[in-house]
Amino acid sequence: MLAAPRGDVNPIDTSRGVLDSRDMAETVARSPRRHDVIVIGGGNGGMSLAARLRKRGCPDVALIEPSAHHVYKPLQNYVAGGLARRDELVRAQTSLVPQGVRLYPSAAQRVDAGRREVMLADDTVLVAGDVVIACGAETDWESLPGARRALRDGIACTSFELEHVERTWDRIRALDRGTAVFTLHGQPASGRETALKPLFLACDHWRRRGVLSDLRVVLVHDADRLHPVDEIAGAIRTAIDDYGVEVLASTRVESIEQDVLAVDGPEGTARIAADLIHLLPPYRAPAFVGESGLAGEQTRGFVDVDPRTLQHRDHPHIWALGDAADLGDARTGGALRHQVKTVVENIPRRRSGRPLLEYDGYTVAPITTSRRALVFGEYDSRTHRVMRTIPLLDPLRPRPWWLALDRWVLPQLYWHGIVRGRV
């Protein structure tokens, strides 16, 4: 059982004396609704966290999520690569909310960390013993001039937004000559390594059709290394060389105008005319995090938590995990499972004064190197040391069983286990 939260606050200010009818109506409208734990975000991390909290004995959990649909994002790249259907990755949000969890279909606007209050877009005010921020990051197309227009006009595509995944596959299979450009960038990025999935799935498709030799395939990457883990970088390099992909390292996309990308790299600025442009979106932190004073000077607007305990550095009742937290490379679904378990354990430990557990830094880079094989690169996001959860099987060698695990086994495990708090 979770220990009861300490230090409840009185949300109603009666210092002015007797309230008139207008004041009374406003007070009633904004009178906080109390919950034991408030979870902001109903995606992978938030939904599974709420379920685990309930199973752990938390008596009252509130879940804040404005979207009516829940998306299993790892399958988006498979839809974009022609290996999955769109209807496999979307379910109604209400069908997944755990029993005993109160869903608020609105967006968080502000968090008062001192009072442990969360203000919603519909003017609802919630107060709780602990608040967990698990709302992810936001795409920031405005920071890349011309990107939104290129997506709207069909010049560019992306597998990272649900509305574009099917059109991405349409563009890939229709291309048989010209130039295809795929972009990759460092943090912040949600599932950064998975941006290589559509690249390699497309190359394998073009090779099978016999048109790969008629295409110039370019990867534009803003770092000098393909991956911070040497062993995973080596596996990526093997696939890149096999397909003949041209890599523009330490090169940043500055803008998109019609079908031309303006890039800036070691040799200066250049323009690349492309027949297909696949974009890894720019990302930004949710605005309410900074406006609530929960970011740090070096966190770029993301929640400033201790990367070991996932507890806010200044506010012990505030926690964060996933893409919304400043956790470096730990922005993957695999990392979330470990982070959720850490927070679920640490909330009652904080309340009872016991030492907090530490998140082990686990994250994973599942990269399809073809339509038949995948590299399941597990590593520590802090030390960039390779990790292995399945003994005797080398996760860095492309194998069909890793693809089967990522494509078919994990989605079923997700819908029936992870978001249900069972795994």
**pLDDT score, position 26:** 45
DSSP letter string, 283-336: EE--HHHHHTT-B-TTTTTSB-B-TTT-BBSS-TTEEE-GGGB--TT--SHHHH
Nearest partner of 44 among 76, 83, 1, 85, judged by Cα: 76
pLDDT of residue 172: 98
Q: Return the beta strands (E) in 325-407 as ranges.
A: 362-368, 374-380
Sheet holding 252-257, edge to edge: 252-257, 260-265, 268-273
Q: Given this model, what pLDDT does residue 392 score?
A: 73
The CATH number given to 140-283 is 3.50.50.60
Q: What is the per-residue pLDDT across 321-379, written as a single tens digit (0 to 9) for each?
A: 999 999 999 999 999 999 999 999 999 999 999 999 999 999 999 999 999 999 999 99
> Using the 8-state DSSP alphabet, how is residue 395 labeled?
T
Q: How far is CA 316 from the centre of its chain?
A: 24
Q: Which residue has the tokens 């110039």?
A: 216
Same fold, 21-137+285-352 and 140-283: yes
pLDDT tens-digit readout, 72-109: 999 999 999 999 999 999 999 999 999 999 999 999 99
Interstrand relation of 178-184 and 215-221 (parallel, antiparallel or unpaired): parallel
Give the domain ranges of the chain.
21-137+285-352, 140-283
What pTM value is reported for the model?
0.91
The distance of Cα 279 from the centroid of its chain, to the nearest Å, equals 16
What is the crossing angle of helices 196-209 and 165-174, to 10°?
Answer: 30
**Confidence grade of residue 390 (pLDDT, cut at 50, 70, 90):** confident
Domain boundaries 21-137+285-352, CATH class: alpha beta
